[in-house]
Structures are given as C-alpha cells and as structure tokens.
Structure 1
Amino acid sequence: MVGPDRRTSALFQESASSDHERDGRPKSKDGPKNDMWSSMLGGVASGKRLPEKSILVLGGTTDSQKEFLDSLSNDSPTARKTLDRHSGKPPPIANQFALGYTYHDVLDADHEGMNILARLSIYLLTDPMPSFTPLLRPLITPQTLSNMLTVILLDWAHPWSWLRQLRDWIRLLRSLLTSLDDATKEALEEHRVTVRGGGRTGAFDGGGGSGGVTEGEVSIPLGPGEWDEALGIPLCVVCQNADKIQTLEKERAWKEEEFDFVLQFLRTVLLKHGASLVYTTPSVPSQLQTLIHSSLGIQSLLKKQPLKHNVIDRDKVLVPPNWDSWGKIRVLREGFDVEGVNEGWSIDIRSPLPTNPNRPPEPNGMGGSNDSLNSRDGNGALAVFEDTIRDVRSEDILSTGSLLNRQTSQSVEVESFDMQEFLAAQMELLERLGVDDEREQASKDKRRDPQRRSMGYRGEGDGRMRDSGVQIEEGGRVSEHIGPVQFNMGGIQVDADDMLKRLKLDHRRFEKRTDHQNERCLL
C-alpha cells in the first residue's frame, strides 16, 4: 500500500513530466530571467548616465550665493516647466554652516522635451578659514580635476575690499593644492601643463577653455604675465550687484577713472591665474550661464552659444578665459602700471596664510585677513589698490572716534564703563572745578582797592554790588524784553529796578563822601 506522501510525490512527478512534454523544453527557474533584465537595465542606465561636473563657490554671503545659483539656473520657461513636472520642487540649498552643498541639472537649450546635459554638484563656502581646508581636500581627485570649476564671488557694495578677498581665497587654494596626495598632485600638474601649453587661440569658441588647437585656428603663445600663477583648476570671478555702480557714482562721487582702475587691476591679477571675469546684476540677463557652461565643457546639442567679450559697458563686463593680455589692459586707460601690479600680486599671494582671518561684516560681505589696514605700507599690489580705492565713510568714522583701538581691530568698538566708576570720575571732576572757582574768587578779592580796606570797609558787599551792577548793565537788553521785576518784601510791593537805582545813588553819595574825607585827611 502506498502512503500519502509517496502518492503526492508521484503526482508532482507526473505533472512536471507532462509540462516538460507539452512545452518541448525544460522548465527553468526565475534566476536567468532576473540576470537578463538586470544586464539590460544596467546597459541602458550606463548609456544615459549624466556627466558629473562640480563647482566650488567661494566667498559672498548665504544670500549672494543663492542669487548666484538663481542666475546659474536661469533656464527657458519650457525647459523649467518640464523639469518641474518631472522632479517636483527645486533642490534645497544647504549653505548655513561650513561647507554647503546643492545640485543643479543643466537642461538643453530650446528643447521641448526632458533632456538633461549634465548634473552640477555645487559646493559652497563663505569664509577663507584654513580650518576648512580638510573639508575641501576630498573634493579634488584625479577623476574630478578635468570636470571642476572654482568660482569666487565679489560684491559691488564694497569694491574696496575685492583685492583683499581675492588674496585670501588664492592663498587658501594654494595651501589646499599643496596639501594633496602625490597622485592628485601629479594629475594636477599634468592638467596645468596641458591648459597652459595650449596657449591662447585666435577665436574663442566658448568650448571650455584652451584645449588643443583645432583646424583653422591659430595658436598664440603666452605673453608676459599670463598663467604665471596657474592653479591647475579653472577659475572664474563673478562681481555681483553691478547696479550698485550708479550708487557709487552718485553717493561716493566715483568717476570713470575709478571704475577703469578697478577693472584694470582685476584683469591684471586674474590674467596671472588664467581666470575669467564677469559682472552680473540681479534680474538682468547676462552671459554668466554661458561662461560657466563653457568653462566646464557643457554644450547644447541644438544651439551653440558663443561668448562675446565686453570691456566697454562698465556694468556688463565679460572677460572670457584665455582672451585677455597686457596690451588689451593698457588700451582701457593709459598710465596703468601693469608690470608693477603683476609683480606685487606675486608677493601678496606668496605671503604666509593668516591663522585666524576675520569674517566680513554684513552687508559688506567684506572678507578679510587678520592683518589690519596698517599692511598698506607693504610692497604688494594690495597696498596700491587700497591706497587708491578707499572706503571714505568708514575712514571718517574711525577718525572721529577717540576710544577706538585701530591697531588691534578694524571694527568700530566703543568701550563702556561701569556706572559707579563713571559717576565717581564725574564727582572728582566737579570737586576739582569747585576748587578752581574758589581760587579764582580769592585772587579777585586780593586785587580789590587797598584804600577801602584801610578805611575799615571790607569791600565784599561792594564787590557784589559792582558785580551785580555790571551784570544788570550787561543784561539791560534782556530786561527790555522781560519788563520790570517786582517782588513782595514784608507785605510791601517793591520794584527791583527802582531799588537798584536808589542803591546806585546811595553808593555814589558814599563814594563822594569818602573821597571828601580822604582829601581832608591829606590836608
């Protein structure tokens, strides 16, 4: 007799054999199917994987960094609607503490569909403190060097602090690059030699820097002062809030000479690093997006947007990378010492990095180092710039304050005293003034007429009378306006003016009598 377990096993074998005979092929498990679909999906994903780019934004405030990101993500309305429909809310921006982060998807221009060209990983840092260097070190690797861009934000609200901010950030970047591992240093040096060796091209195509020279282009060798202090990472300087130029012109009496001097100084300094320069204004279209995309090698599949240099419009300046030269800088205004600024900047950035830089005051988002304004007596370019472009208002405030310690701090600080100490000091001052008054009164009494003392008249009342008479005579004009002065004495209404006249008359009679007696005594 067959047990129930054996009966079930036999039925299972029969159904399996029947299925095998019906399909004509052995039954397989789900494992091979999963492996097939995984390989297919992996292939599609790798084919559509987005290029990874990174931007390191240095300087500015949290608000100015957000304005930069808004200008960078100024896409067309159709592309923005498409992106919002697929991704929902925009990515958050975390830049409140230390090293911030956000990301941005670059959309294809004039494309009605959802076509993302690249994804930007954006790292944000506001303070040039050396303690933040370990946070930046993992971002620079041999794989990310060719797809990285450094952006330094400046603000037209305080242009007199630009060169100091640039110096601090360049020092920080130089110390960061020298602290990398050997493999990254070798990759950095190769990238630096490649970019510098490409030279300048006759026509800038906006294709991400000065790579190799293509057919039909003429390679121009590097001139003096170009790429002398190349960092190895592309650099772009963005001067925000260019609408404040009108405010400087109206309120601080800036002229074309000041604006040209600032532009020439910036161009000379940035030429040593092969950096680009652009002025931006909030809510006004600019070439910032095109400049950033071209520096990272991001090009639209449908529309190519070339960069057009502009050094004429003072609020729309654009200096593309590998375009500027000393000759073009001199053309802007004669008399500018390009060689001196070039040598002085090398001295400034090679100085040791300060250990405790001060944070910039808001809203003058002005970054600065630990050294005070007394550093202007140096031989660098910073001294020349700060002697020419000054913050006149802050200098006036510093000159009028008597309790300011200018040697130890740049900020306006007033020391407050304890209330009891302040009152005690005032009490001593009042007592000293009282002693001085007593001495002055005693000296007046000694200068009185000696004859009156010999006649037994003390003279105190006389002195008072004379003093009061003089005061009333001097105050005669006042009495004309206030009228007669009356007071009650023992129930009798007395006129003060009448009483003074009688006292004066009695005094004159007394003087005459005294003089007559003196004459009789002499006879």
Structure 2
Amino acid sequence: MVGLEQTMSSSPNRGSKAAGMNSRPTSKDGSKKNIWSSLLDGVANGKRLPEKNLLILGGTPETQRDFLETFSADLSADPSLVNEKRKGKTPPIANQFALGYTYRDVLDADQEDTLARVSAYLLSEPSPSFAPLLKPLLTPQSIPETLVVILMDWSEPWTWMRRLREWVRLLRSVLVTLDDDTKIVMEETMTEWRDRKRGMDANSAAAGSLPNSGGPVTIPLGPGEWDEGLGIPMCVVCQGADKIEKLEKDHGWNEEQFDFILQFLRTILLKHGASLIYTTPFLASSLQSLIHSSLGVHSLLKRQSLKHNVIDRDKILVPANWDSWGKIRIIREGFDMEGASTAWSIEIQDPPEPLDQSADSAEGEDDGTSAVTVFEQTIKDPKRDTSIAHPTATTRGSKIEVETNDMQFFLADQVDLLEQLRAEDEKERANQQVPQLEMSPMDEGKVNEHIGPVQFNMGGIQVDAEDMLKKLRDREASRAPKREGPPTAPGDEKAHNQALANFFAGLVKKPGGSPRGSPSA
C-alpha cells in the first residue's frame, strides 16, 4: 500500500491524462484536429502518381505520333491483349498547331500497376516566336522530372545539324530567362547527371566517389564531355532507320558517309551529355528503356537492361555518360572532333533564327569555321547535289542523279513525241512506195513462161486459167460494138469488173475448190 501511494503521489498528472483520453487530440495551440482529414490526405499522397514530363521537339505530327506509340507500346505482352486493353483508353494527341499536348501512363510489367504519368508537350518548329510557350513548362519542380527529346528523320539527314543547332539555340534562349531558383535546380540536375559516371553504381555516383576507394575520388571529365550542359537531360531520336538502305541503293551513299554522320552526332551530343538512338518503325528497340531510365521510371517487377550498340548501323544506341572521344575516333580515322566541338560551342551562342533564314545565310558560313557548314558539305541533299557520283562511275562526270519531271508532264511529252514519230513514219512510207507499172504483153509472156500454166479444178474438170482469161477477153471484145449504140452506165461496167475480180480472188484463196458459179464459154 505504501508503494502504491508513493506511485500515485509521484504521478500528479496521471489523473489529468486519464481524464483527457476521451477527448479529441489537440495541437500545440490547443485547436482541434480532424483525424479523418489527415488520414485521407495520407492515403491520397500515397496513391499519387509520379509526374514526369517529355518535351518533344521536332518532327511532324505524324512522326511525333509514331514516337509516342513506340514509347507507349508493351513489347513483352501479347499485342492483341494490349490493344484490346488499351482500346478506347489512349488519350488523344493535340499537336496540329503550335505547342501540342497529350499524356501517357507508364504501366508495370504485369500491365496492372501504373508507375508514372508522363505529360508530353510537342513542338514541331524551332521558331523564336514559340519561346514564350516553353518557359512556363520549366519550373523548379518540373526540371528534375523533365527530358528533352529531339526528333530527327532519316528521310533528310542532311538537315540534322542545322535543325539541332536551332533547337539548342531556342532552348538556351529560354533557359537564360528563368528565375534564379530555377537556375539553381538546373545546376543541381546537371551535376547529378554528370556524376553518373561509367563503371559506378548509383550510390557511389551520387557520392561522386569510386567504390571501395576509401574516400571520395572525382572522375575527371574527358575532352569534349559536358562542355555545354543545358540544365535539362536531352535525348536525340533518329527515326526511320530503315531508309538507310534506300539512301545506299538509290543515292549511292556508302559506309563512309554513314560513319561521318554518326561521328558528328556523337561528338556534338557528348558536349551536352545527351543520349542517341536510331529507331525503325514496327521493330522492337530500346527506346522505351532509354526514355524510362532517363526519366527515372523503373519497373517493380522486371529490371530493364540498357546496353549500348554502336555496331548495327540501324540500331545505334548511345546512352548518356557512356561515350568519349576515344570511342568516337575508332569508328573511322580522319574525323576532326576537336574542330567540330569548338565550332559548335561558338555557333550555339547566337540567338535562334528561322530555318529558312539559316539556309539562306549558309553562303556566309563557307569559310570552314561553321560546324553545320562542314557537315552539309559532306552530307548533301541528293536532289540538289549534282556532284555525287555512283561508286562504279568513272571520273568523266557521269552522275547518278537526274532531274525528273512530274508524271503527268512526262506522259504529255511522250504523247507529243509519239505523234511526231508516227508522222515521220508515214512520210517515209509514202516516199518508199513504188508506182505499179502496167506489164507489156511481151513481159507478160516471159512471166508466164517462167511460172508455167495455172490450172484449177472446176466441177471435176481441169481448167486452164490462161485459156479462161483469153475467152473472157474475146467475149468482151465481141460486145464492144454493141456498147457503141446505147450508152452504158459507168457504174455497171465497174460492177462487172468488180465481179470478175472477186471471182478470181476466190480462186486464189481456194485453189482446188469449186467456184460458186461457172462462167459461160
């Protein structure tokens, strides 16, 4: 009892706590708190999807749709099941005018759980007038969750460097106008990406040190790496790699030109810490894995591997932080990486300008100091370039490219040409016709002696054709005096001669057959 009394006496506030058990919990300022609101807020925060952003620049509305379909496709599941499941659930794409928008949900490997929601903003042309549309998309909250994707197409690779330069100029013009808080976040984002060095795991990369090194060791950057970081991760997607074979067969391109394009792209993208991938329609690629890893979206059930590929020319994949000048140099000797890298750093400092104006001012860049001009002097548009010779052509100036007209104009020219040829043929045929001369009796006798008598069977009796003609002539001669009396119509004489001609024509066509009527002797 004494111990109990001491315990009770040593806890003077015990009674007050017990009395307050049935009351609602209060905050420090004494105000009541709604438990249900806090619970609901906690559940809502737990189910809130991670928000990711894709800023898709370049391409056409059609190629942008192709990119989104490839990005959203589930390559591991049955296509029929995926299509049935997604049927009627795919959000529409509004990308016909100015800045477009759509969104996609990233599903896990089992197609049940949603890992993240990706908002896609689409812009086709690098016009300076679109810069105000991009600025609101770049905030301190959105930049760490944003990836810039620049679309190129193999239908016109000779325009790649010029378009890439204008996109970089446009992005730089927008980024320099952001507020200080956003710029600080951009610097932190670039530092994090730059520290994801080769051969380092995520923990050691975040710490900026080598594993098992005993202390933080910073890996120095190689030449040309991260010289021009934009503050936002970037990826260049070259679509339609199946057109590489068409360029090779139809326009005479060779491996040297394809290697030059790859070396130039990798050298430029290395300066921005960007990744590169070639894609082909309707064929599986690593595009989805590359975009997911760049956005920080990882499956909870299946780990997706991302492996580089610089061997297959239509399946190139260069992840960020993997490339280097040494790896680029071994593709082909003679490529000037130092010159291209230096020239690019100078060119992107200028403000953006329309692409048509850039093409018109290309003549002023022929001094050899422009990276874009150096690229376009090697990779030329086959339709405009008449100096590209076929690999088997000699140096006599033979060209593999010819200017062709429209199909309708071509056919019209062919009709005129055919009419002209037909008129020439008719004229030549008229000049070559020999006039038929009447044969004299002497010549006729010589011919008859040469070919012999002509006989035919008429009613079982062998008849001599020459004797028959003689009798016909005598008959006509005997009727001549009678014609001098009453006049004979020219039509009757003509009809009579025609009947005789038809008779002998029938004999010629049916030698040995009986004629329909026998002449009177």
Q: Which interval holds the TM-score relative to the shorter structure? A: 0.5 to 0.7
- Residue 94 of structure 1 corresponds to which residue in structure 2? 94
Choose 178-187 or 140-149, whichever is displaced more.
Answer: 178-187
Task: Report the TM-score when normalising by structure 1.
Answer: 0.64
Q: 2-side partners of 1:220 and 1:80: how far apart?
A: 48
Q: CA 1:479 to 1:72, structure 2 compared with 1: closer, same or farther past 3 Å?
A: closer
Q: 1-side partners of 2:433 and 2:285: how far apart?
A: 73
- Residue 44 of structure 1 corresponds to which residue in structure 2? 43
* Structure 2 residue 358 is the aligned partner of structure 1 residue 369: yes
- Residue 345 of structure 1 corresponds to which residue in structure 2? 344
- Residue 11 of structure 1 corresponds to which residue in structure 2? none
* Structure 2 residue 330 is the aligned partner of structure 1 residue 331: yes
- Equivalent residue for 2:198, pick from 201, 204, 222: 201
Contact 2:107-2:115 at 8 Å conserved across structures: yes
Name the amino acid aligned to 1:77.
Answer: A
- Equivalent residue for 1:180, pick from 164, 178, 181: 178
SS across alignment from 1:238: strand
Contact 1:209-1:322 at 8 Å conserved across structures: no
Contact 2:190-2:233 at 8 Å conserved across structures: no
Q: CA 1:175 to 1:211, structure 2 compared with 1: closer, same or farther past 3 Å?
A: farther
Which consecutive residues of structure 1, in runs of 5 or more, have no partner in the other structure? 1-24, 27-33, 359-367, 398-411, 413-476, 485-523
- Residue 132 of structure 2 corresponds to which residue in structure 1? 134
- Residue 246 of structure 1 corresponds to which residue in structure 2? 245
Q: 1-side partners of 2:78 and 2:382: how far apart?
A: 48
Q: CA 1:82 to 1:245, structure 2 compared with 1: closer, same or farther past 3 Å?
A: closer
Contact 1:238-1:278 at 8 Å conserved across structures: yes
Task: Report the TM-score when normalising by structure 2.
Answer: 0.64
Contact 1:234-1:274 at 8 Å conserved across structures: yes
Q: 2-side partners of 1:281 and 1:121: how far apart?
A: 24
Superposed counterparts of 1:94-173, under 5 Å: 94-109=94-109, 111=110, 114-173=112-171
Contact 1:201-1:220 at 8 Å conserved across structures: no
Q: CA 1:107 to 1:375, structure 2 compared with 1: closer, same or farther past 3 Å?
A: farther
Deviation string, structure 1 residues 80-115 (Cα, Å, up to 9, x no partner): 958975995211101011000000111112x25x21
Name the amino acid aligned to 1:133.
Answer: A
- Residue 418 of structure 1 corresponds to which residue in structure 2? none
Q: 1-side partners of 2:92 and 2:159: how far apart?
A: 30
Q: 1-side partners of 2:289 and 2:350: how far apart?
A: 35
Name the amino acid aligned to 1:103.
Answer: Y
Deviation string, structure 1 residues 448-477 (Cα, Å, up to 9, x no partner): xxxxxxxxxxxxxxxxxxxxxxxxxxxxx9
Q: Quick one: percent identity of the two aligned structures?
A: 57
Deviation string, structure 1 residues 208-241 (Cα, Å, up to 9, x no partner): 9964457748863210100000001000000000
Q: 1-side partners of 2:85 and 2:366: how far apart?
A: 59
- Residue 268 of structure 1 corresponds to which residue in structure 2? 267
CA RMSD of aligned residues (A): 3.3
Name the amino acid aligned to 1:233.
Answer: I
* Structure 2 residue 382 is the aligned partner of structure 1 residue 392: yes
Q: State the shift of 1:394 in Å.
A: 2.4
Q: CA 1:134 to 1:84, structure 2 compared with 1: closer, same or farther past 3 Å?
A: farther
Q: 2-side partners of 1:117 and 1:215: how far apart?
A: 31
Q: 2-side partners of 1:210 and 1:391: how far apart?
A: 43
Q: 2-side partners of 1:208 and 1:139: how far apart?
A: 30
Contact 2:267-2:325 at 8 Å conserved across structures: yes
Q: State the shift of 1:182 in Å.
A: 2.2
Name the amino acid aligned to 1:248.
Answer: L
Q: 2-side partners of 1:184 and 1:40: how far apart?
A: 33
Q: CA 1:223 to 1:157, structure 2 compared with 1: closer, same or farther past 3 Å?
A: same
Contact 1:376-1:386 at 8 Å conserved across structures: no
Contact 1:376-1:384 at 8 Å conserved across structures: no
Name the amino acid aligned to 1:371.
Answer: D
**Rg comparison, structure with higher value:** 2
Q: CA 1:187 to 1:209, structure 2 compared with 1: closer, same or farther past 3 Å?
A: farther
Q: CA 1:200 to 1:156, structure 2 compared with 1: closer, same or farther past 3 Å?
A: same
Runs of 4+ in 1 over 6 A off after TM superposition: 207-210
Contact 1:54-1:121 at 8 Å conserved across structures: yes
Q: CA 1:79 to 1:297, structure 2 compared with 1: closer, same or farther past 3 Å?
A: farther
Q: CA 1:334 to 1:80, structure 2 compared with 1: closer, same or farther past 3 Å?
A: same
Choose 215-224 or 331-340, whichever is displaced more.
Answer: 215-224
Contact 2:224-2:341 at 8 Å conserved across structures: yes
- Residue 306 of structure 1 corresponds to which residue in structure 2? 305
